Amino acid sequence: MRIEVSARIGATIVRLAAARGVAPAALERATGFELAAAADPDARIELAVENALWDHAAELTGDPHFGLRAARDLRVGAFDVLDYVVRTAPTLRESLVRLTRYNRLVHSAAVFRLEDRGDRLRIEHAFATPGHTPSRQASEFTLASVIVIGGQMCGAQLAALDVELPAMPPEGSRTVYEETFGVMPRFGAALGALELPRAIMERPCQAADPMLSDVILRQADALLAARPDPAESPANRIRRIVVTQLGEGSVSLASVARGLKMSERSLQRRLAADGVTFDALVEAVRRELALRYLGDRSLAIGEVAYLLGYSEPSAFHRAFKRWTGSTPTEARARVAS
């Protein structure tokens, strides 16, 4: 399966290398990466290009630990919406929960998994695609980024309780690992992982902004709905396209078929196999989203109607009454009580 990553990752590698004296043009020539393309937030590059950028950046800086050290220089916004989703979370734990959900915005194969282990939280990083693993530079950068960004969020340097890294370190260069993680990693592990104290994970982040967080999460949800999951079922793929097009203000059998790159007849057969009509599916999605959006009191009811693809709030009110037997205002009041 083709693995793609956001071009913003490539741009970040180039910027971090430039801060160490490497001309961006040198990395572009060596890897074929086009820095200008990263201005498009939807631009993607192949995994091989990302790996080449990491390897050449390490070579041109003369630093075999380029990825590890580069994490220390991360700035806010480096990974676009994903970065703000993580940084606006109320706690470090919630920021990691969000990372597991939204990382697909920047990488089609990398996944994070969280596991509670008593007084500590374990964070694992690996590829979901069989036969592929993160490069050493990328793996070390990713785990070090959790430490760096977490420290920036809570206003204090974090130290891991345990760290596991898949690759063996360069000869005679272990000190930098302890400086970064606060503990010497165990090398040659099956995947990348680190464990952090559970107590600090639950501590409120002083810079958390609930209103900004709600705005960013809505944007992230819309982007995630438009980003296909390789393991996604056909039924969920159809629902995802419907959700995306509702938010854009117009949805039809023809437009959904185009989004799925299939004919209208094929789409109808697919839906018939699931025992549902297109109109019934759209209505079910609208009802589900309506209940979710009404739980967000920062959204006016008129905005909810717009997000569901209704041109007039009155049409939404009639549909909601038909679905639930109550008005949107009454439903919102029950949620708040």
E strand or H helix that includes residue 214? helix 210-226
Tell which residue, 160, 106, 167, has the closest CA to residue 133.
167
For residue 228, name the pLDDT band (cuts at 50, 70, 90).
low
pLDDT at 135: 95
What are the tens digits of pLDDT across the range 162-206?
999 999 988 877 789 999 999 999 999 989 999 999 989 888 887
- Percent of the chain whose pLDDT exceeds 90: 47
pLDDT in the model for residue 266: 87
Instruction: Taking residues 250-273, report their average pLDDT.
Output: 86
59-112 pLDDT tens trace: 999 999 999 999 999 988 889 999 999 999 999 999 999 999 899 999 988 999
What sign results for the dihedral spanned by CA atoms 196, 198, 202, 204? negative
The yes-or-no verdict on residue 274 having pLDDT over 80 is no
Whether the full predicted model's pTM is greater than 0.85, yes or no, is no
Domains and CATH numbers, the chain: 4-201 (3.90.1520.10), 232-336 (1.10.10.60)
- Alpha carbons 10 and 143: distance in angstroms, whole number: 17
Please name the residues in contact with 28: beta carbons below 8 A apart, sequence gap of 6 or more.
14, 34, 35
Q: Work out the mean pLDDT of the chain and round it to a whole number.
A: 88
